Amino acid sequence: MIIAVDGPVAAGKGTLARRIAAKYGLEYLDTGALYRAVGLYMLRNDQSPSDDALAVKAARHVSEISLDDPDLRREKTGNAASVVAANQGVRSALLDYQRNVAKRKPGAVLDGRDIGTVVYPDADVKLFITASATTRAQRRFEELKAKGEDISFEAVLKDLQDRDARDQGRSSAPLTQAADAHLLDTTKLDIEAALEAACRIIDGK
């Protein structure tokens, strides 16, 4: 079984996708971490994420960054990831890796922006997770504060709006809800309620 979980930044899709994977005994892949790894590789090598040729080269070094590296979760890395993610060469370089994980038995839950539209258009279940921009910024702000990042709520909200615009506006695999995806708005749901709603959709298949 393959479950695609897409949606904008900080909608709660990572936590939800991890919990779905645990509940149904599936593998979990955070595809955003791959784009973050490309961004982090570039930042560490003093390269500009908007340099398209260097970004494609960096995508070939993605395995040199551990997907558990704490620097992947930093705000600066997320912004760099959003820039390299607009690069078609980078997206193509990461596509096979994502498809191979999904093919492994007994299946996987992949979270990202284009899983249901591009990476796995044949996914068994597609969820599109969203929440209001203010709610997403508040969650993200609290997460960053807990990690000790010195950043204001206004700066987080601005970054989030910029990333939404970049992720939705790019020509390569823009963030969009697949026609056959189920929409789940988590603005008023905590994780347990969101998981319950997601399971109802999955079990209803």
Sites of contact with ligand DC (CB under 6 A): 9, 31-32, 35-36, 78, 81-82, 85, 112-115, 163, 167
Whether 56 and 42 have beta carbons less than 8 Å apart is answered as no
Q: How do 182-185 and 108-112 pair as beta strands?
A: unpaired
CA atoms within 13 A on the CB side of 57: 10
Burial class of 194 by CB neighbour count within 10 A (0 to 12, 13 to 18, 19+): buried
Whether 78 and 36 have beta carbons less than 8 Å apart is answered as yes
C-alpha span between 161 and 155 (Å, rounded): 10
DSSP 73: G
Residue 192 is encoded by which pair of tokens? 């347990």
Residue 90 Cβ, how far from ligand DC at the closest point, in Å?
9
Residue 189 Cβ, how far from ligand DC at the closest point, in Å?
19
Residue whose CB is less far from ligand DC, 175 or 195: 175
Residue 204 Cβ, how far from ligand DC at the closest point, in Å?
25
Residue 88 Cβ, how far from ligand DC at the closest point, in Å?
11
Residue whose CB is less far from ligand DC, 167 or 182: 167
